[in-house]
Chain A
């Protein structure tokens, strides 16, 4: 479903600030794979997701989604295939537009936008039903500006928007990191719900090892622009936090305790 082949990405190429963020990355996701992606600060996780989404171009390698090469496709064209939720709850929605207006924007992802009315009556009903089935308490605030919602509500809404039109790939970049633990769990639960319901191929970045182990069918770890671990199947199901720490130590050749970023359990 997603195939990242020999992809390299260097920021500020040819300047003193040159920074190789991805070094010849190879990663292949099968249809329905739910991969959790962990790694320390600056490991290149966000860069990888952004390269898949087309936020950045890559200087080497190819990216395929659903068999189609997208390496040169601009971000807004790739959006037809990709659903995204970001770390910052402000980033995924338009704050000064209403809840239903935001959903209507997402409902047209990948379609040509015309001079038809931006939201139809049927859509309003549909969105309302959808939100009330999720129990977010938003179904009676459909015309409220999204800026009035809490971070957790905005993140839940972004998740609904990302999956409203079934994406070929769902990219979640630490989408619960900015939320308090209880809200984070709720949003994660909601993510699981959507992913299971439609069998979405998903790449989820997290700093929380417990989450990385509990969710998904496959765990990938990055370190300094490389993929250093790829654990799937039964091995993944039986994984513990201790295992993971040990294997990270071996694979990265560093003492795990030195990596401040992987602290949270």
Chain B
């Protein structure tokens, strides 16, 4: 009897925790479709007007473009570097690869604020000013570990035999990479790129420290808007962000899965 009671309590508690976590998100999404000027319940009707206004807000559009550019460039650079670093560590066993690996993974373990301040201070020390390049640099450092972790795991599971067979058949090391290794690790590379893209798109802490004056990304734009007023537009923007940051990885996962099924891996 007491046992059942305990289970009921535990179940109830779990539900409460989830409500606490996801209710605000649900509220934001719901209110973004609210017709009324004031973001509050009860809702007064269903409307897309805040999304339309969003699409006409020059500042938000600029922030969106910045975020997308930053995210795509971060993903491209992080993925390239991550693949090369993984190859060096897994396949070529460069001397000291253990230390290098730890060093590259470290940014995940350091609190983001610390990393942000450290990079800023370091660049100040070198006399380099804040710029978009610095922002990009910061995002790359911050997303690289995720790419490396995903790609490395995959690369380890690709047997060296397969590459050796390709070379014995006449493929140079470069041809072997593009014909065999890369296609086999493509799902992981895509997943890594999507990780990098979403993390960059979502990031606010580091971005606040690194961004030059006048440049805003979507998260910092929301942050700035919140300081002035609580406009229903922000709800709409929040909904867009949620759809993107949840939807992109899901999409990536689906693509990776169909890819690897089709290829019989």
Partners in one complex: no
